[in-house]
Each structure stands twice: as structure tokens, then as C-alpha cells.
């Protein structure tokens, strides 16, 4: 499982998982759930990624964050 944190606080209520023998999270048996949609991330936030559980063949994970600025502070 993967967790994305905004200033130390998880942005998920249900963390992102990639099931065994899968490549992407969109087919996971348990879907990830964000704390809010759309997710607002403040300018200057420190984003961190936690790998909470790694499977026996977990390697080469890539995480893409796609978004856009809505307003300047």
C-alpha cells in the first residue's frame, strides 16, 4: 500500500493499493479513497510518500501526481 501525505497528514481515508499480479491501482480489490475531492493542496505544502506494505515482488513503483493551480496566494 502507498500513502501520500500533505504536511504529514494522509490525503487518503483508504490508502492506495496495487494487488498481486497487477500493474495499476485502478483494478485493486479495495479502491483508494481521498479525504476530499477535489483535493486542495496549499502552496508550499510538503508532500511525502509512504510505502506501508511492499509485496514480495514489489519493485519499480512510480507515482504520478497530476493537478493544476486554481489560484495564486
> What integer pLDDT is reported at residue 26 of this predicted model?
86
Average confidence (pLDDT) per 10 residues, the chain, 73 residues:
93 90 86 89 90 72 81 65
- What per-residue confidence (pLDDT) applies to 57? 61
Burial class (CB in 10 A: 0-12, 13-18, 19+), 10: middle
**Cis peptide preceding 38, ω within 30 of 0:** yes
DSSP single-letter state for residue 23: S
* Helix (H) / strand (E) containing 51: strand 47-51
Residue 51: predicted pLDDT: 86
Residue 33, pLDDT score: 93
Amino acid at each position: 500500500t502507498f500513502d501520500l501525505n500533505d504536511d504529514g497528514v494522509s490525503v487518503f481515508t483508504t490508502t492506495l493499493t496495487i494487488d498481486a499480479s497487477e500493474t495499476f491501482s485502478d483494478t485493486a480489490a479495495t479502491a483508494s479513497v481521498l479525504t476530499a475531492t477535489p483535493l486542495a493542496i496549499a502552496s508550499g505544502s510538503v508532500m511525502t510518500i509512504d510505502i506501508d506494505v511492499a509485496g514480495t515482488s514489489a519493485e519499480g513503483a512510480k507515482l504520478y501526481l497530476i493537478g493544476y493551480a486554481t489560484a495564486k496566494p
